[in-house]
């Protein structure tokens, strides 16, 4: 954990506040092993990355290959969680944490829409990620934009 604070940043004291558990369901493999090498935002023409799904969740991939774009949720496990105001390295002013997509946030969950190239067994091959190699996977959803609900709209 990075414990340094930049000028103007504000941290808060956090008591234990354990409201819900996450279960890691897989692991993301990317070319980036140091935060300084990660792209600032993933691009649809970025390198192929591999999203490994652990058992017993592999059966839950059934039908996912029908979607060109999927949404991934993952746990940014190297991030501190106590900053409410941040001073991004390349900005000349401070920003509230919720006005940034910085990995530093009270619940460090990253979300990305990625291009699904193919599924190989328990592994999705995708483009469009920007996270570190080894990042724990939390969820996979069909993308809203690409998504036609199975059921007709209610009401």
Binding site for its own copies (CB under 8 A): 10, 12, 14, 17-25, 39-41, 56-57, 59-64, 66-67, 70-71, 73, 75, 77, 81, 84-85, 88-91, 94-101, 105-107, 109, 111, 113, 136, 138-142, 144, 147, 149-155
- Please state the closest distance from residue 105 (CB atom) to its own copies, in A: 6
Q: Within 13 A of 47's CA, how many CA atoms are on the CB side?
A: 11
- Please state the closest distance from residue 114 (CB atom) to its own copies, in A: 12
Nearer to its own copies, 5 or 61 (CB): 61
CB–CB of 45/57 below 8 Å?
no
Contacts of residue 81, defined as CB under 8 A and 6 or more positions apart, other chains included, come to 14, 104, 105, 106, 107, 108
- Please state the closest distance from residue 3 (CB atom) to its own copies, in A: 18
């Amino acid at each position: 954990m990075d414990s340094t604070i930049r000028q103007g940043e504000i941290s808060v004291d956090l008591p234990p506040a354990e409201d819900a558990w996450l279960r890691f369901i897989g692991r993301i493999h990317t070319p980036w092993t140091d935060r300084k090498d990660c792209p600032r935002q993933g691009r649809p023409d970025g390198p192929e990355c591999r999203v490994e799904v652990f058992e017993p969740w592999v059966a839950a991939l059934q039908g996912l290959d029908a979607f060109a774009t999927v949404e991934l949720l993952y746990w940014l496990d190297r991030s501190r969680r106590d900053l409410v105001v941040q001073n991004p390295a390349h900005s000349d002013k401070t920003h509230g944490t919720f006005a940034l997509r910085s990995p530093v946030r009270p619940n460090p969950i990253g979300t990305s829409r990625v291009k699904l190239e193919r599924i190989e067994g328990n592994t999705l091959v995708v483009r469009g990620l920007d996270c570190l190699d080894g990042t724990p996977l939390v969820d996979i959803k069909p993308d809203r934009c690409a998504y036609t609900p199975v059921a007709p709209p209610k009401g």
